[in-house]
Structure formats: C-alpha cells, structure tokens
C-alpha cells in the first residue's frame, strides 16, 4: 500500500454521510479541539450547482466558548474576515442564516468546496481564543488574545504573498491600518529551530518589512547574531512586547 493509499483509506474510514432534509451531512476527518468532527451540509440546488454549509457549527463553537461575534469588536471583525476568506461563490438568494459559513459550487469543484469549508470551520474555531475566559492551548492563542484586547481583527492561517509567487501560510494576520503577517514561534524545539522557522518566513515574504513580525515565546533565547539576521528582513519581538506591539497597530 502506498502512502497516498494509506492516508486515503484512513480518511474514508472517518468520512460518513447522513441524509438531512433535501441534502446530506458529511462528517469529515477534521477534528475540533473539543473532539467533535467538522460537519458540512451539502445540497444539490440545480443540475450543476451545489450548496455547502457548516449550518452554524463554527459560530456555535464560538458561542459555547463565550465569544460573541455580534458585540465583541475584534470577534466581529475577525468573523467577517473569515467569511470573506472562503473562496466559494456566495449563497445569494438562498435560505442561509447570518452566522453560517456557506457557499455554492459546481459539481466538478464540489469536493474542493467541502474541504475549503471544513478548513474554514477549523479557522473559525480558532477564534475561541478571543473569549474573555479562554484558557490558551497554543502559543498562537496568546497572540490572538493580545490582538483582541485592542479590538483588532485577526485572520488565522493567513496566506502571505511570497517572492516567487503563490502564498505561504503564517500563524495569523492582524488587521490594523494594513495587515501585519505574524509567525508564532513557540520554542517547543531548540533555539535554532525557532530561529530557522522565523528566518524561513522572513526570507520568503513579499511584503514590506514593517508588515512582517515573528513573535517569540518567552522560552526562546536567540544569540545576538540571530536577532540581527532576523531584523534584516522583518521584526522579531518577544512575547513580553506583545501588548505594546498591538497598541501601536491601533495608532
């Protein structure tokens, strides 16, 4: 069995379908932090037009965590960025709810559409870090919370333009007057691992230097030459500088 065959077999063992109304609910092998799996509703609207929707799953997870995407400025703005990031045709004139992540697709692109929406649900759940009483699970959550204190919107797993074309996914983008691309460096490996990670992001970026930041967790300790190397291309900062950094984005 090849690697692709092994992964496909594991994927198919978890993937399931259940009839629901005029369509079906697909359970995907994409897990949320609470152990639930992502579910996407699919319904055929016409001969070659399909609706895909999370039926409010991402918004529900945020509500359970204590995030109000209507009244919290950072949460509301971040949610709007999430909705706009879904590269599907908008579900115009369809009976979808305000807090659904949804779109439409042709039959040929239906598989990609389901996966795109599933990934959007995962990014949506990541906004749980904006809850006032949220207990952080990842270092990225610390950065999200710092942005939330300043009512700044965030886009998780943000696509950053690269010098050789295409995009590279970074931890998040913070939406101030213009987007700032942020790579979280947790320091779970060695110091050189953290340096290499930040350097890889900085060296490939096709964005202005002042829009490129690597946030290093307090456990990360770099040598002076490593700091200078990173400063040549971007802005490395320590976890302790986060609040000051975010306040400057508001100004």
Contact predicate 169/161, CB 8 Å: no
Where does the pLDDT of residue 198 fall: very low under 50, low under 70, confident under 90, or very high at 90 and above?
Answer: confident
Mean pLDDT computed over 144-158? 96
Q: Are 147 and 215 in contact (CB under 8 A)?
A: no
SS3 171: strand
Residues 138/186, Cβ–Cβ less than 8 Å: yes
Residue 61 has pLDDT above 90, yes or no: yes
Q: What pLDDT digit, counting tens, does each position of 99-141 carry?
A: 999 999 999 999 999 999 999 999 999 999 999 888 888 899 9
Q: 139-250 belongs to which CATH class?
A: alpha beta
Given a cut of 90, is residue 250 above it in pLDDT? no
- φ/ψ region of 187 (left if φ > 0, alpha if ψ in -120 to 50, else beta) reads left
The structural domains of the chain, with segments of one domain joined by +, span 13-130, 139-250
Q: What pTM, to 2 d.p., does this model score?
A: 0.85
Place of tokens 């930040």: 198
pLDDT at 13 over 80: yes
Q: What pLDDT score does 190 carry?
A: 67
Average pLDDT, the chain: 92
Express each pLDDT in 171-180 by its tens digit.
Answer: 999 998 889 9
């Amino acid at each position: 069995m090849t690697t692709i065959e092994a992964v496909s077999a594991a994927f198919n063992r978890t993937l399931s379908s259940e009839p629901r109304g005029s369509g079906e609910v697909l359970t995907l092998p994409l897990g949320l932090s609470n152990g639930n799996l992502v579910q996407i509703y699919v319904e055929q609207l016409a001969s070659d037009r399909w609706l895909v929707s999370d039926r409010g799953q991402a918004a529900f997870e945020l509500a359970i965590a204590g995030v109000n995407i209507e009244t919290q400025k950072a949460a509301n703005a971040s949610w709007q960025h999430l909705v706009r990031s879904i590269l599907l045709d908008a579900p115009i004139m369809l009976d979808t709810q305000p807090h659904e992540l949804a779109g439409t697709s042709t039959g040929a692109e239906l598989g990609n559409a389901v996966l795109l929406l599933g990934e959007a649900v995962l990014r949506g759940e990541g906004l749980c870090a904006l809850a006032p009483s949220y207990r952080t699970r990842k270092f990225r959550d610390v950065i999200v919370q710092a942005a939330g204190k300043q009512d700044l919107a965030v886009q998780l797993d943000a696509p950053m333009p690269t010098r050789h074309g295409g995009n590279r996914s970074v931890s998040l983008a913070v939406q101030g007057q213009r987007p700032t691309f942020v790579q979280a460096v947790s320091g779970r490996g060695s110091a050189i691992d953290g340096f290499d990670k930040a350097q890889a992001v900085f060296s490939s970026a096709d964005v202005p230097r002042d829009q490129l930041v690597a946030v290093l967790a307090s456990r990360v300790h770099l040598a002076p030459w490593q700091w200078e190397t990173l400063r040549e291309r971007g802005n490395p900062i320590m976890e302790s500088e986060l609040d000051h950094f975010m306040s400057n984005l508001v100004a």
